[in-house]
Amino acid sequence: MAAPDVAPYDALLLVSFGGPEGPDEVLPFLRTVTAGRDIPDARLEEVGEHYHLFGGRSPINDQCRDLLAAVRDDLAAASVDLPVYWGNRNSAPWLTDAVRQMTADGVRRAACIVTSAYSSYSGCRQYRENLFDAVTASAEAVGTAPRLDRLRHYFDHPGFVQPFVDGTVEALRRLPDGGEGARLVFVTHSIPRSMNAASGRHDDDPAGARYTRQHAHTARLVAAGVAARAGRRHPHDLVFCSRSGPPQVPWLEPDVNVHLEALAAGGATSVAVVPIGFVSDHMEVGYDLDTEARATAEKLGLAFERVPTPGVDPRFVSMVRDLLLERASVERGEDPPRAALGAEGPAWDVCPAGCCANPRGDRPALCGADSPDPLTRLRS
């Protein structure tokens, strides 16, 4: 059997958020994450206490290591001979270092899988800006850098959705009475309302708001999948966690804790909390949901089960390969099948001009229709 064709790609790059791996890294990490937002250290130290409850260590890097190993094994099992690199935006291993290593290794063109499934500035364009910065740094240092292509958003890919369906069915079974009267509470990271309004907005889609639209779509897909498996429908809601920033700036609501209070006041007795905004069980899941939201539920007398994130579920891991092969086929001028559930259809490969605008001012970003070429800029 012939090996799958990954041309024109000669590498895959895992791009993630990053996190501290010890108490001394917490404050520097938070300064990096919030750079340019004038947040005082006193406030960052308050947020840092969340990390110190877990030994000053975020689980996200370990989860990326596990995903990296699983993707490498999956590619090898499918006879795909492709090196896989890893770079973070906000901590070691730094994205800039990963691109420099790729350059040194002779990589000419790489596909990038980002650990964010949805459209938004913080979940897409900011990563694209960081990719531009990393490629520019390599070009300035040695005169060349690989071309990088971001693989499409996967909020509706079966490899992302189905693990949530199965996890929710199992969570319902653990609830009293098998979760018969339980409510599904889908949770994602809150962002400013203005950022949501700009998410996915471009000339052909001035409405924007794709962040909430895509999450609502994923929630419907999971709820429908659960209903098909369990033989009954559960009411569901989309709520938010991890709000930050000044109180005068409107963010997406309701907060998960406020929502749990409203459910209890309305007579609800049990909830299955489904963290569809996250690909792995990192800090927002471990603290905001497993610690804070669970404590809120216990105080209210709500039975509470939290559904696992995809993590290294084999379907999620093989999704990475599927998206890689799909994009490689597109770049060769072919018309491959695209796995996507529901009526939304698969997301675009190349972000439209102006998509998910930077709220603090325009910065160059890769992987878009309006992306400048760092090598051309350097030579000019």
Q: Residue 266: is its pLDDT beyond 60?
A: yes
Architecture of domain 11-155+313-379: 3-Layer(aba) Sandwich (3.40)
Q: Report yes or no: 237 and 186 within 8 Å, Cβ to Cβ.
A: yes
Q: Average pLDDT in the 335-352 region?
A: 96
Helix orientation angle between 158-174 and 210-230, rounded to the nearest 10 degrees: 50
Confidence of residue 253 (pLDDT cuts 50, 70, 90): very high
Q: What is the mean pLDDT of the chain?
A: 95
Query: Of 349, 325, 350, 352, which is closest to residue 337 (Cα–Cα)?
Result: 325
Mean pLDDT of the 192-212 span: 94
Residue 47 scores a pLDDT above 90: no
Sequential DSSP letters for 221-252 = HHHHHHHHHHSS---EEEEEE---S-TTS-B-
Which of the residue ranges 48-52, 124-128, 306-310 would you say has the lowest mean pLDDT? 48-52
328 and 8 Cβ atoms separated by less than 8 Å:
yes
Mean pLDDT across 67-73: 98
Q: In whole angstroms, give the CA distance from residue 41 to residue 38.
A: 9
For the domain spanning 158-306, the CATH number is 3.40.50.1400
pLDDT band at residue 176 using 50, 70 and 90 as cut-offs: very high
Q: Can you tell me the mean pLDDT for 10-33?
A: 95
The arithmetic mean of pLDDT across residues 270-298, rounded, is: 97
Q: Worst-scoring range by mean pLDDT, 26-30, 85-89, 192-196?
A: 26-30
Q: Which range (42-56, 287-301, 329-343) has the least confidence?
A: 42-56
pLDDT the model gives residue 37: 78
Three-state DSSP at 210 gives helix
Give pLDDT tens digits for 217-240.
Answer: 999 999 999 999 999 999 999 999
Residue 378 has pLDDT above 80, yes or no: no
In this prediction, residue 11 carries a pLDDT of 98
Q: Which residue has the tokens 């963290």?
A: 275
Phi, psi of 232 (to 5 degrees): -155, 150
Higher pLDDT, 44 or 338: 338
Q: What is the mean pLDDT of residues 348-353?
A: 96
Percent of the chain with pLDDT over 90: 88
Residues forming a β-bridge with 184: 236, 272
Contact 23, 56 (CB under 8 A): yes
Please tell me the predicted confidence (pLDDT) of residue 51: 92
Decide if pLDDT at 29 tops 90. yes
How far from the centroid of its chain's Cα atoms is residue 263's Cα?
A: 27
Residue 310 reports pLDDT greater than 80: yes
Task: Give counts: helices (H), strands (E), the chain.
Answer: 13, 8
Q: What is the pLDDT of residue 38?
A: 76
Cβ burial, residue 22 (10 Å; 0-12/13-18/19+): exposed
Domain 11-155+313-379 and domain 158-306 have a common topology:
yes
Average pLDDT over residues 329-344: 97
For residue 183, pLDDT over 70 is answered with yes
**Domain layout of the chain by residue ranges:** 11-155+313-379, 158-306
**Whether the predicted pLDDT of 245 surpasses 90:** no
Q: Is 176 helix (H, G, I), strand (E, B) or coil?
A: helix
Among 98-102, 181-185, 346-350, 357-361, the minimum mean pLDDT is found in: 357-361
Weakest-pLDDT range from 39-43, 155-159, 248-252: 39-43
Residue 165: predicted pLDDT: 98
Tell me: pLDDT of 43 over 90: no
User: In the predicted model, what is the mean pLDDT of residues 344-367?
Assistant: 94
CA distance to 174, 223, 312, per residue, from 160 (Å): 22, 14, 11
Cα distances from 277 to residues 31, 66, 282, in angstroms, run 23, 19, 11
| Model confidence at 380: pLDDT above 70 | no
What average pLDDT score do residues 63-80 get?
A: 98
127 with 366: CB under 8 angstroms? no
